[in-house]
Amino acid sequence: MARKASLSGFSELLPEERVVENHVLDVLRRTFELHGFSSIETRSVETVDQLLQKGEIDKEVYAVSRLQEDPGTSSGEKLALHFDLTVPFARYVVENAGYLNFPFMRYQIQKSWRGERPQEGRAREFTQADIDVVGEETLPFRYDVELALIVVEALSQLPIPYFKLRLNNRKLSEGFYRGIGLSDTAGVLRAIDKLEKIGPEAVATILREEVGATDRQAQAALELASVKSESMDFVDKVRAFGVEDELLEQGLRELSEVMAEASKRAPGTVIVDLSIARGLDYYTGTVYETFLVGHEKLGSICSGGRYESLASSGKKTYPGVGLSIGVTRLVARMLSQNLASVTRKVPSAVLIALTNDEAWSQAQDVADQLRRRGVSCEVSASAAKFGKQIKYADRRGIPFVWFLSTDEAGDLVHEVKDIRSGEQVPADPTSWMPPEEDLSPRVLAREDAN
Amino acid sequence: MARKASLSGFSELLPEERVVENHVLDVLRRTFELHGFSSIETRSVETVDQLLQKGEIDKEVYAVSRLQEDPGTSSGEKLALHFDLTVPFARYVVENAGYLNFPFMRYQIQKSWRGERPQEGRAREFTQADIDVVGEETLPFRYDVELALIVVEALSQLPIPYFKLRLNNRKLSEGFYRGIGLSDTAGVLRAIDKLEKIGPEAVATILREEVGATDRQAQAALELASVKSESMDFVDKVRAFGVEDELLEQGLRELSEVMAEASKRAPGTVIVDLSIARGLDYYTGTVYETFLVGHEKLGSICSGGRYESLASSGKKTYPGVGLSIGVTRLVARMLSQNLASVTRKVPSAVLIALTNDEAWSQAQDVADQLRRRGVSCEVSASAAKFGKQIKYADRRGIPFVWFLSTDEAGDLVHEVKDIRSGEQVPADPTSWMPPEEDLSPRVLAREDAN
């Protein structure tokens, strides 16, 4: 990642870096599928009208048009690249509702594009891994619990530093604000969302000047936001404010349910943090954010929440709960800070050496036999001295070189050399296997990364 | 695929259709990696200048610009979506040459975009799977042989009808044309390329009127194009023309080498077809095209060839050989003609039923144990009658439902039901496994598809 992208914001990985990214994607996919989530992809483009519906700042959107577009194209037909996977997914659900089984559990791993100013953690082209459950009209609350557990399970398998999944519930916050007499709950949330950036003083000013809070109300809202807990004691802390409100109670109940199960199954990973507001308006209950410990300034690597109406068509609404993992943000950090290393950069475990050009077809026979057992290998394209072929393997990190020769009786003799130890032994192409740890490139966490 | 895309040319798959596509992509990836190819991805956008360099018809290119672009953007900075993976790969190789080991073996599975008129086999957004080997200055010919074998191996594992990989060599054709006195060899190739579409009469007219061929020359060029063979007898057929040319001899030697190895390793799949010209100018030796038998009108599903200069920078040139599989074209045909079926549409092999709401956490324990052994499963989100939960599983195609109950001594009792046979048996969550064929959704070829 020391290399500079030839187009700012559109970085490209080297093969060894891509091994890291593929590992992350494979772990996510496997985890999501083990939990019963189906894969879908949506098209990369939406109509501009569809994308701007939710009030997204339009300069961040990349418009797409044929170089020689018909000048008469109306704005409803104008296309743009999607900037997230939620808007396209909502459209997909409505369009295909008749073909889907609800609750519909899907994951979606795709690129998105935003024309923002590039910086670390913010690329113009980036991969997101989204996981959502969507119901028709209703969706059991249990999915709010399960989704937290799934992302913790997925992230725990990655070679990354410790992370904390921060939890809150919009109903709790909004009920609290209402209970202390602040009716512009959305305004309070927006102010609280800025807490980490601008500090409590500035937030109090906004609350007083823009939301019409008294000193005491502003103080109470800030005190609620300061509640953080890795155990269930947040319930007592909230109760101690003595605020009574039905929505607050419901939020408290929901947050307790997520926290109770999460702290049991993933102790030390999940934290209640009542300052978590999430900028987006569509969340209506549980909200999640995830930070790498020691890398908080990178921003959240996995965020989401519950939305009572992901989409609606005619009379039907589709509530959902989901999270989005910022794969590019995460992988860029893993690479720039050397949080992980790869055991080799190519898939090949074995190079079949060629001692004379005529042996190529025989070498391919050996390769076929190895591949049938899942051993990745390549055959030298032309004959060369042993030393040169070993050097070729060494440069790529291929651990084994296979040699073919003919003995006095005219029979083929097979030997395999571990070029790291120099040990060379006879080998049978119909049964030889490399040690498990050499079968495929592995991605390892740097030991001192935590 | 009976559904109509909400945006013409940008079709989206249902979850069960995506199972088919993912199967195709997984087989390709596994095969490429078993042969030692590294994964890379390039950015989706290139500068317009870069894309139009090779003279691509510009109206097929999708330009990309921020909705509120600075009006002063010069054409060198204007962006567009790539229309294939070859142009971006060439740029990537030149930009990163210092970080790559040559010969560089890479595969690349990504979307591309073209603004063409949509029709079956031609989408505006489509996935290609490219595999290339690129050398620095030189590249052994053996890779021309190996790449043919790799794609045959990959395609043979897919649930598709028989296919034929058609082979030719540009040196052979060009040498032949030169040998019979036609110097505008590119013009002849362009005319021959139209043979299937317009027929021999029309091609002969072009050869006479545009390339300046005599009747005899046109006739000879057409006769060469009529040579097709599944064995090595094409060599004698070409020699029988009595044309002498050094380039022709070299092409004949190269084509023989590919054909000899391919017909030995994949008998019946590879065919020499001297009418294969490939439209693109940059091929300089071996050319490949692949057709599904009985679906020839769909067009080639896998094409490519050798190019002496994929890219060049300063004094260095990068010769390569590669093929591109049209994944979207192939999968769209598999779906529209029901060439393949899936055993189920969701990953889950097991639904853990909930007989009462309090058992959810216990049910998650069972799910954890199953998942640890790679068994995909989901837990019911709320309690319901057995019949309703079985119906839920049935609708999704989940073959097994797991029931938890408590016996008189207060111990947990586990039972699992195969809802297809109705058989229900006691099961141990620490060891139970579904039959191998039920572990994951499988994609099967329709038996009468061949």
| pLDDT the model gives residue A59 | 57
Average pLDDT over residues A393-405: 96
* Max mean pLDDT range (A105-109, A358-362, A443-447, B1-5): A105-109
| pLDDT the model gives residue B345 | 95
Residue B133 backbone phi and psi in degrees, to 5: -120, 130
- B361 interface with A at CB cutoff 8 Å: yes
More confident residue, B355 or B274: B274
In angstroms, rounded to a whole number, what is the distance separating the alpha carbons of residues B197 and B179?
26
Contact yes or no for A85/A327 (Cβ under 8 A): no
- Is A66 close to B59, i.e. CB distance below 8 A? yes
- Is B12 close to A43, i.e. CB distance below 8 A? yes
Residue B64 is nearest to which of A64, A348, A396, comparing CB atoms? A64
- Using 50, 70 and 90 to split pLDDT, how confident is the model at A1? very low
Q: Distance of alpha carbon B334 from its chain centroid, rounded? A: 13
Taking residue B304's Cβ as centre, other Cβ atoms within 10 Å add up to 27
| pLDDT the model gives residue B52 | 82
In angstroms, rounded to a whole number, what is the distance separating the alpha carbons of residues B425 and B440?
21
CA of B163, closest CA in chain A: separation in Å?
21
- Using 50, 70 and 90 to split pLDDT, how confident is the model at A53? confident
Among all residues of chain B, which has the CA nearest to that of A14?
Answer: B40
In angstroms, rounded to a whole number, what is the distance separating the alpha carbons of residues B171 and A40?
44
- A414 interface with B at CB cutoff 8 Å: no
Residue B35 is nearest to which of A345, A360, A378, comparing CB atoms? A378
ipTM topping 0.90 = yes
Three-state secondary-structure class, residue A376: coil
Among all residues of chain B, which has the CA nearest to that of A357?
Answer: B142
In angstroms, rounded to a whole number, what is the distance separating the alpha carbons of residues A180 and A201?
20
CA of B389, closest CA in chain A: separation in Å?
13
- Using 50, 70 and 90 to split pLDDT, how confident is the model at B72? low
Interface test mutation site (partner A, options B43, B50, B117, B132, max chain A beta carbons within 10 A): B43
What are the pLDDT digits (tens) for A237-267? 999 999 999 999 999 999 999 999 999 999 9
Sign of CA dihedral B90, B94, B97, B99: negative
Among all residues of chain A, which has the CA nearest to that of B114?
Answer: A66
Q: Which amino acid is at A112?
A: S
- Is A34 close to B125, i.e. CB distance below 8 A? no
| pLDDT the model gives residue A18 | 98
| pLDDT the model gives residue A363 | 96
Contact list in A for residue B68 (CB cut-off 8 A) is: 58-59
In angstroms, rounded to a whole number, what is the distance separating the alpha carbons of residues B143 and B162?
24
* Max mean pLDDT range (A140-149, A280-289, B271-280): A140-149
The label of the residue with tokens 């060379």 reads A424
- Is A34 close to B376, i.e. CB distance below 8 A? yes
Buried b (16+ CB within 10 A) or exposed e, A64-100: bbbbebeeeeeeeebbbbbbbbbbbbbbbbbbbbeeb
Average pLDDT over residues B44-60: 78
- Using 50, 70 and 90 to split pLDDT, how confident is the model at A278? confident
- A13 interface with B at CB cutoff 8 Å: yes
Contact list in B for residue A264 (CB cut-off 8 A) is: 361
The β-bridge partners of B306 are B321
Residue A106 is nearest to which of B15, B43, B91, comparing CB atoms? B15
Residue A82 vs residues A38, A114, A222, A279, B188: alpha-carbon distances, Å: 21, 8, 36, 19, 45
Interface test mutation site (partner A, options B10, B12, B91, B107, max chain A beta carbons within 10 A): B12
Contact list in A for residue B342 (CB cut-off 8 A) is: none
Among all residues of chain B, which has the CA nearest to that of A106?
Answer: B15
The label of the residue with tokens 């058989």 reads B423
Among all residues of chain B, which has the CA nearest to that of A33?
Answer: B347
**Strand-strand pairing, B79-81 and B45-47:** antiparallel
Does residue B1 surpass a pLDDT of 50? no
Among all residues of chain A, which has the CA nearest to that of B393?
Answer: A101
Mean pLDDT, chain A, as a whole number? 93
- A356 interface with B at CB cutoff 8 Å: no
| pLDDT the model gives residue A11 | 93
Residue A36 is nearest to which of B92, B360, B376, comparing CB atoms? B376
Contact list in B for residue A60 (CB cut-off 8 A) is: 66
* Max mean pLDDT range (A182-191, B61-70, B413-422): B413-422
- Is B43 close to A67, i.e. CB distance below 8 A? no
**Strand-strand pairing, A228-229 and A400-406:** unpaired
Residue B132 vs residues A144, B15, B32: alpha-carbon distances, Å: 45, 31, 10
Contact yes or no for A95/A313 (Cβ under 8 A): no
Interface test mutation site (partner A, options B25, B33, B105, B328, max chain A beta carbons within 10 A): B33
Does residue A65 surpass a pLDDT of 50? yes
Q: Percentage of chain A surpassing pLDDT 70?
A: 95
The β-bridge partners of B352 are B379, B402
- Is A12 close to B146, i.e. CB distance below 8 A? no
- Is A58 close to B67, i.e. CB distance below 8 A? yes
- Nearest CA to B398 out of A367, A35, A174 is that of A35
- Nearest CA to A99 out of B146, B351, B17 is that of B17
Among all residues of chain A, which has the CA nearest to that of B106?
Answer: A15
Average pLDDT over residues A424-446: 96
Instruction: At A120, list the tokens.
Output: 């670390």
Does residue A130 surpass a pLDDT of 60? yes
Contacts of B160 (CB under 8 A, 6+ apart): B292, B330, B334, B339, B340, B445, B449
Residue A376 is nearest to which of B33, B42, B261, comparing CB atoms? B33
Contact list in B for residue A15 (CB cut-off 8 A) is: 38-40, 100, 106
What residues of chain B, 60 to 79, have a C-beta less than 8 Å from chain A? 60-68, 79
Interface test mutation site (partner B, options A25, A45, A66, max chain B beta carbons within 10 A): A66
Does residue B2 surpass a pLDDT of 60? no
Among all residues of chain B, which has the CA nearest to that of A358?
Answer: B142
- Is A66 close to B80, i.e. CB distance below 8 A? no
What are the pLDDT digits (tens) for B169-226? 999 999 999 999 999 999 999 999 899 889 999 999 999 999 999 999 999 999 999 9
Mean pLDDT, chain B, as a whole number? 93
Does residue B121 surpass a pLDDT of 80? no
What is the rounded radius of gyration, in angstroms, for the C-alpha atoms of chain A?
A: 27
Does residue B126 surpass a pLDDT of 90? yes
- Using 50, 70 and 90 to split pLDDT, how confident is the model at A151? very high
- Is B65 close to A63, i.e. CB distance below 8 A? yes
What are the pLDDT digits (tens) for B230-255? 999 999 999 999 999 999 999 999 99
CA of A34, closest CA in chain B: separation in Å?
4
Contact yes or no for A50/A87 (Cβ under 8 A): yes
- A149 interface with B at CB cutoff 8 Å: yes
- B286 interface with A at CB cutoff 8 Å: no
What residues of chain A, 87 to 146, have a C-beta less than 8 Å from chain B? 91-92, 95-96, 99-101, 103, 105-106, 111, 113, 115, 125, 140, 142-143, 146
Average pLDDT over residues B289-313: 92
Contact yes or no for A321/A307 (Cβ under 8 A): yes
- Is B91 close to A6, i.e. CB distance below 8 A? yes
Angle at Cα B225 formed by Cα B224 and Cα B230, nearest 5°?
95
More confident residue, B311 or A237: A237
Does residue A191 surpass a pLDDT of 80? yes
| pLDDT the model gives residue B70 | 64
Contact yes or no for A194/A202 (Cβ under 8 A): yes
- Nearest CA to A281 out of A144, A181, A177, A189 is that of A189
Burial degree of B101 (CB within 10 A; 0-12, 13-18, 19+): middle
Contacts of B26 (CB under 8 A, 6+ apart): none
| pLDDT the model gives residue B270 | 96
- Nearest CA to A131 out of A50, A254, A257, A38 is that of A38
| pLDDT the model gives residue A75 | 61
| pLDDT the model gives residue A72 | 62
| pLDDT the model gives residue A196 | 86
Average pLDDT over residues A385-412: 94
Among all residues of chain A, which has the CA nearest to that of B91?
Answer: A6
- A378 interface with B at CB cutoff 8 Å: yes
- A228 interface with B at CB cutoff 8 Å: no
More confident residue, A149 or A196: A149
CB-defined contacts A:B, below 8 A: 207
CA of A302, closest CA in chain B: separation in Å?
22
- A302-313 β-sheet, strand order: A38-39, A104-113, A125-134, A316-326, A302-313, A286-292, A163-169, A270-273, A228-229
Does residue B57 surpass a pLDDT of 70? no
Contact yes or no for A246/A179 (Cβ under 8 A): no
Torsion of CA A235, A238, A239, A242, to 10 degrees: -170
End-to-end CA distance of chain A: 21
Residue A12 is nearest to which of B92, B371, B382, comparing CB atoms? B92
Residue B101 is nearest to which of A42, A81, A396, comparing CB atoms? A396
Instruction: At B243, list the tokens.
Output: 């044309």
Torsion region of A15: left, alpha or beta (phi above 0 gives left; psi -120 to 50 gives alpha): alpha
Contact list in B for residue A372 (CB cut-off 8 A) is: none
DSSP string computed for B128-163: EEEEEEE-SS---THHHHHHHHHHHHHHHTSS---E
More confident residue, B58 or B191: B191
Torsion region of B6: left, alpha or beta (phi above 0 gives left; psi -120 to 50 gives alpha): alpha
DSSP A119: B
- Is A67 close to B47, i.e. CB distance below 8 A? no
The β-bridge partners of B417 are B401, B424
- Is B125 close to A43, i.e. CB distance below 8 A? yes
Three-state secondary-structure class, residue B171: helix
Average pLDDT over residues A354-374: 94
Residue B311 vs residues A359, B136, B287: alpha-carbon distances, Å: 32, 10, 18
Among all residues of chain A, which has the CA nearest to that of B45?
Answer: A10
